[in-house]
Structure 1
């Protein structure tokens, strides 16, 4: 593609699909599933404040979408993405959208999230302003700044802590005004699975990332080692839930999450023996679907415990 991309031409022709792809919708489960779980955990303790729930849900989705756009912008600026890249929104390199437009939308999303965060703080605690700011900063510095998190082995940890555990605990806290051991323990497998989405992405992009100077965990482990690590993340998540139930910490209803095991097996097998990004793309989507299915089943189990 010659010159600076613009918002005319291919983007205008394809319409809303360009902007929908820019959001990378298959990754948005990492934002709304934790909100559902944190809220479900709060149900036995309090009456749910629906406006607070909706504000938290919207802010989380906007921050995740903005993170994806920051990723799109900086990967383009650093020359990592081209029109043949797999798993990207492609608004800039394939559809001619201006990089400044992508950055502008990302900043706008963050701004709306801040406004929602102010409302949430007014209704709960201003300490959440600090945590919310850290979540937005983590989204930006994942690919932005002088030392992007994406270039280190800490990407999975950062994603799991901020987009998994952090969102669950915030969603729980704004409803109850407190934190409990159960809310912390239940958040751990979700944090692992949010990190697994990033691990799957890094497995798929391992060779290209290594050529561009990244040092992700997938690069350090190599393809086979990274796939084994991903499988281990799935195993630990399911075992963690089983242990919580056997210890009497949570309702046996959350064993519904085991219905998602076939999807996790497909995700792991989808990476085994594969060598190209295109071949591994389905496995990346399966991994995101594991997080979605596991999280929804966990939330359903918590809801059933409340009503049955």
Structure 2
């Protein structure tokens, strides 16, 4: 396996779906709490990106191993194991190595912080692995959209905030003895973080939803009973539209509550572009032609969203100088 085939196996271009929530959380920690821990930030980034590559490699391996339909757009060209003629044994070894490295980095992060990072990390690892692996992979059920959205959109954003402010009283668990557990939650701050996370949650869920809408016929043949198959294409397309609107509404509410800088309202300027892409996707749903629209909507919306929070940090700095 060379570098080119490895990058294809892990679909390196899709890592933007984890990098954007990571920077959202990092910028929010700086804006809201004026705190930044560079060691934790580096460890978190490496663990996150390596684990994201691992889950993608697992997904490609399982698609290769379980495919029933082995012709048509996608299988011969999209799956790196087929298109690059990779040795499945080498692929499995690569997956194991990446998983171990990501887990070790995660444990180092737990050592630097507390048990909350361990708990959320374990849940995120579990969702990431079982998304494509196991007797009933999440990707073959109606829960793929919501769980991937929560794991990446909320899990990454929350951890990217929490690793900088784990001792600030937002969420803590302590053990007085084996029978007593104390949980302390700052409800307002937690609500703010949930609101801030909703845009990437909805955007990532919609990437998965668009993927499943495009694959409905092939999924039926491959016995993947995803959400669009359960609710039908028309309802799935309506859900696709409304998830974006929920993301934009959450930004407005977060600004009103003072969690985000006023400048974050600028994110709404991309609404027209997003609506145009929604209309294009509603007319035609294929991996080749229109699936990319969901990715574009996620990137353009949340990249600008991240930059507005960075803008808020800069304005804070100027006003305090």
TM-score past 0.5 threshold = yes
Counterparts of residues 206-285 of structure 1 (less than 5 Å): 206-274=216-284, 276-279=286-289, 283-285=290-292
Matched, 1:43 2:30: yes
State how far apart, in whole Å, the 2-side matches of 1:100 and 1:266 are: 44
> Aligned to 2:42, which of 23, 35, 54?
54
TM-score (norm 2): 0.84
Q: How many residues align?
A: 292
TM-superposed deviation, 1:204: 1.2
Report if aligned partners of 1:26, 1:288 keep a CA contact under 8 Å in 2.
no
Is 1:133 aligned to residue 143 of structure 2? no
User: 1:149, CA displacement in angstroms?
Assistant: 0.6
1:80 Cα shift? 4.7
User: Does the 8 Å CA contact 1:40/1:299 hold for their aligned counterparts?
Assistant: yes
1:233 Cα deviation after fit: 0.8
CA shift digits 1:95-115 (9 cap, x unpaired): 210222222222222111112
Which structure carries more strand by proportion?
2
CA contact under 8 A between 2:22 and 2:157: conserved in structure 1?
yes
Residue segments in structure 1 that go unaligned for 5+ positions in a row: 1-6, 8-14
Aligned-pair distance for 1:273? 2.9
Q: Which secondary structure state, in structure 2, belongs to the residue aligned with residue 28 of structure 1?
A: helix
CA contact (8 A) 1:165 1:184 kept: yes
Q: Which runs of 4+ in 1 moved over 6 A?
A: none
Equivalent residues in 2 for 1:23-102, closer than 5 Å: 23-44=10-31, 45-80=33-68, 82=70, 84-86=72-74, 89-102=78-91
Alpha-carbon offset, residue 83 of structure 1: 6.0
**How far did 1:17 drift?**
3.1
Distance 1:80 1:246, change over 3 A: farther
Contact 2:21–2:153 (Cα < 8 Å) also in 1: yes
Tell me which residue corresponds to 1:21. Answer: 8
Larger Rg: 2
Asked whether the 8 Å contact 2:124–2:151 carries over to 1, the reply is yes
